[in-house]
Amino acid sequence: MKVQAWTKEDIPSLKGQIVIVTGGNSGLGYESVKALSKRGATVILGTRSMERGQEAYLSIQKENPNAEIDVMALDLADLESVKTFAESFNEKYERLDLLLNNAGVMTTPYGKTKDGFEQQLGINHLGHFALTGHLFEVLKKTPNARIVNISSNAHKSGKMNFDNLMFEGGKGYTPMKAYAQSKLANLLFTQELQRRIEKNGLDITVTAAHPGVASTNLMRHIEDKFLYKILGRLLAPMTQEASDGALPGLRAATDPEVQGGEYFGPGGRWEMKGAPVTVAPITKSYDVMDADQLWKVSEELTGVIYPLNQ
């Protein structure tokens, strides 16, 4: 008997739940905010641009006038902004049922965040590491809380270069190499946080997901490249819309059967498109030594220490 594919209709009622989606003003984040608010959650839409965040909110409200969405400023390239966002959230809300760490940049030219981090690792991993840590107390006191980290199939070519994590001075930097490292970091972080949560007996589940190949503005840094123009036409039939690309993250975020440490992606060929299913990351993403080293480095760089004890 064929098992029916998981869709947005399988998201249970989220009435009374408080949810944060980073990068909620466009792409996968926007689709996630739309889907989660439709099921009754109060969704905090974290956005670097309040103007674009407000536009996203108004667009969703046209379709769903009952949507409860709170647009809040969040720049993951600035640790001060991350801290301010968390402090503002903690003043307004007493629970956090779901933290969807979705925001990210892809294959950008070499550059640094406000705090001097290589920007892909800085935004995709370190910003979310700091945010999750600042919100950890409220996650701890929320029954059955969940954290979802959005990674990428690109993690499969990733390697943690602890000798030069930030590609100082652009040494050895290629946009894809840095992106793949940041996406592998997302999965190492997922597994290490889940291990530490289980060790301390906390009621939090950490999962991860990737969207396959979805049409979002993440591609803006490579879409004018010659190779992308050729491959883009060839691969177009195998890509999916952002609304479908958001499904693995939404399943990781809401499916009651999800287990800590699971990874979701599209179920089609090469995990490029299709209904969301559990998928297998590369073995390196389970490397305990790399994960522990990344954790310690992340603490040092961000100054954020997780309050893991009960």
Q: Which residues are catalytic?
A: 179
Please give the Cα distance from 176 to 214 (Å, whole number).
17
Q: Compute CA distances 104 → 12, 77, 151, 162, 210, whole Å.
A: 27, 10, 9, 21, 12
Residues near 4 by beta carbon (within 8 Å), at least 6 away in sequence? none
Please give the Cα distance from 46 to 82 (Å, whole number).
10
Please give the Cα distance from 132 to 99 (Å, whole number).
8
Structure tokens at 179: 């992106």
112 neighbors 122 (Cβ within 8 angstroms): yes
